[in-house]
Amino acid sequence: MGKSTKSPFKIIVLLTLVTFSLIVAFVVFNQKDKEPSVTTFQKQPDITGQPTIGNSDAPISIVEFGDFKCPSCKAWGETIFPQLAKDYVTTGQAKITYINVLFHGEESKLGSLAAESVFKNSPDSYWEFHIGLFNEQPTENHDGLWITKEKILEVAKQVKGIDIEKLSTDIDAQSGLEELNKDTNLVKEYKVEMTPSIMVNGTMLEDPFDYEKIKSLIKKELEENK
């Protein structure tokens, strides 16, 4: 007794220290694991026949995998997209392509079918329609039904150059299905699991809102393509 007995206080302190060290080690280990915040693919996505803004010869190809029903896509389109357009598209360094992702069921499909029809029949009206449809996404309760044929036609009527009758029959006939399948194949090929997913040339970003990372990737690509 006496000297050899460890005080419960010491044991508690020791256990606390051990637990704390384990937590620190775990956090550090996880951060290390996360360090490569990008995934690079051998081949860039094939953007033939996809809506693309910017100079077709631009050395930087930015691809957005998006969904009209997705709130983060709306946010990306309102914050990062205009920034990229201003900094790189207007300078001729980059082009931006939009690929449909159908993660939100029938409404995603309906919006995408409409967008494919607009792009096919009046490509010059595409981006205005695209932005117009995202503008209609409610800021609250975005899971509630809002992409309807009526809403689509209402948006389309406000955009110059869209043949409303053609759009309406295209939606009913699901004329854009083949194009949607092309998009879905790209979604699979590039292992897209969230929207928006953003690629810069062959590299997929982990955080689509990390503008500094996007800028550094573009800079690196521009230097390599000199």
Count other C-beta atoms under 10 Å from residue 87's C-beta. Answer: 15
Count other C-beta atoms under 10 Å from residue 131's C-beta. Answer: 16
Residue number with the smallest Cβ distance to Ca ion = 183
Task: Report the site for Ca ion in 13-52 (rule: CB under 5 A).
Answer: 50
Print the binding letters for residues 123-162 with Ca ion: x by CB under 5 A, - otherwise: ----------------------------------------
* Nearest in space to 154 (alpha carbons), one of 121, 120, 111, 119: 111
Instruction: Give the count of alpha carbons within 13 A of 66, CB side only.
Output: 26
- Binding flag, residue 170, Ca ion (CB under 5 A): no
- Binding flag, residue 64, Ca ion (CB under 5 A): no
Check: CB of residue 142 under 8 Å from CB of residue 181: no
Stretch that binds Ca ion, among 22-30, 141-149, 175-183, 203-211 (CB under 5 A): 175-183
- Binding flag, residue 183, Ca ion (CB under 5 A): yes
- 219, two tokens: 């800079």
Stretch that binds Ca ion, among 32-40, 66-74, 131-139, 171-179 (CB under 5 A): 171-179
- 9, two tokens: 């206080």
Which residues in this chain contact Ca ion in the complex, by CB under 5 A? 50, 179, 183
